[in-house]
Copies of this chain bind each other. A is one copy, B any other.
Amino acid sequence: MRASIVSVGTELLFGQTINTNCAYLSDALNRMGIDVLYHFTVGDNPARLEDILLEGLKRSDLIITTGGLGPTQDDLTKEVVCKVMDAPLMLHQPSMDAIESFFEAVKRPMTDNNIKQAMLPQDGTIFPNDRGTAPGFAVTKNNKIIACLPGPPREMKAMFELSMAPFLAEKTNSVIYYQILRTYGLGESAMETALLDLIDNQTDPTIATYAMEGESYLRVASKAATFDEAKKNVEKTVDAVMQRIGEYVYSVKGQNLADVVAEKLLASGLSLSCAESCTGGLFAAALTNVPGISKIFDRGFVTYSNKAKIEELGVSPQTLEEYGAVSEETAKEMAIGVYRTTKSNICISVTGIAGPDGGTEIKPVGLVYIGLLVAHEGCEPEIYISQHLFRWKNREKNREVTVLAMLHSIFEHVFNKTK
């Protein structure tokens, strides 16, 4: 089954909203064996939406729309879809009741414009919205389906998972299986060069490489009649890939580095605390985003000022004076300071210049020192200090890749020592 996703909303064309729905749905549909061939975005404009739906129907068996189902006047998706599919609208009483209950539950008055949301296609399949007021639906004509979801991501996702995915599963009969290999420290073109003959000889599984900020990844995908068959095909190719670039791979399941490190920490029971300067809490935030992490994460210090570094971590004023806050020595004393207070098995520190200002000739923007103290039960603590120079002039990016480097430093020194 070939699908197109049509996102509706002038806010997308103004660039005020990043279209995350599209990525979510694409991933979910691919996993169900539905090929996503196109994404289209149009504004809240009925003529252009109609045009795009007609183009989409020429190119696909299934169109999924998001957005434009709400109560306000510029929400027009339902009306246009029903026009294109010749599906008359009528009041759907269960949806009207649900909308009324929703407003009671959130203790807000229901304004009249909400009634519009209960007008639904007479012969359509209706998908209830348990997190908002706009129901979704699917209509079929000449073996082509248009299925409509609301725009707010949490409503869209819940409706897709609970109602639309089961509806679509009945209509498809092949599966795509794929694995994402994520690597650190290997550029995209170097990766392709290492794998060129494998990529050249590909028909199924397919191999595709991608560059992300600070890391690269690779997707191996196979389409087959059964899950087991597709999986077997993928696994064979993954083995071949791992023989070439295995040393750079930190996940063969597409997990991000924070999740990989968190999983390993939880499995090993090693406790962790941290002290951050330039990342300002972003490392702790990345790790504590993982459910259950409280079992091993003790505490974090965001020691932004020198005073905080001295008072909370016992960094010596002389070190700060002599070597500066951004130095190997300060990173080391920060990590030792965390250990002194917490006695955590892993104490990690970071200090650097995130930018965009504050760089000098000797210490440019992007210069970062990471201190990692590892104290296994009954052993002398070991300390690893690493220096990094990131090329970004952008504060946000520098902070992100610094967190990645901190996570990778734990991955390498604590969990990947055999390499």
Interface residues of A (CB under 8 A from B): 7, 9-20, 22-30, 36-44, 48, 51-52, 55, 59, 70-74, 106, 108-109, 111, 113-114, 131, 133, 152-154, 178, 180, 187-190, 192-193, 199-200, 208-213, 217, 219, 221, 254, 274, 276, 279-285, 287-289, 291-294, 297-305, 307-308, 311-312, 341-342, 355-357, 391-392, 394-397, 399
What are 20 A-B residue pairs whose CB atoms fall within 8 Å in the complex? Answer: A13-B37, A14-B26, A14-B221, A15-B22, A15-B26, A16-B23, A18-B23, A19-B22, A19-B23, A73-B200, A111-B190, A111-B193, A152-B213, A288-B304, A289-B396, A297-B305, A298-B307, A299-B302, A300-B301, A300-B302
Within the assembled complex, what's the spacing in Å between the Cα atoms of A74 and B52? 27
The answer to whether A41 and B38 touch across the interface, beta carbons within 8 angstroms, is: yes
Closest B residue by C-beta to A14: B30
Within the assembled complex, what's the spacing in Å between the Cα atoms of A10 and B283? 31
The answer to whether B12 and A219 touch across the interface, beta carbons within 8 angstroms, is: no
The answer to whether A302 and B281 touch across the interface, beta carbons within 8 angstroms, is: yes
The answer to whether B302 and A308 touch across the interface, beta carbons within 8 angstroms, is: no
Within the assembled complex, what's the spacing in Å between the Cα atoms of A213 and B219? 31
Within the assembled complex, what's the spacing in Å between the Cα atoms of A188 and B28? 28
B residues less than 8 Å from A297 (CB atoms): 280, 304-305
The answer to whether B38 and A208 touch across the interface, beta carbons within 8 angstroms, is: no
The answer to whether B154 and A70 touch across the interface, beta carbons within 8 angstroms, is: no
Closest B residue by C-beta to A27: B15
Which residue of the partner chain, among B16, B52, B281, B285, contacts A180 with CB atoms under 8 Å? Answer: B16
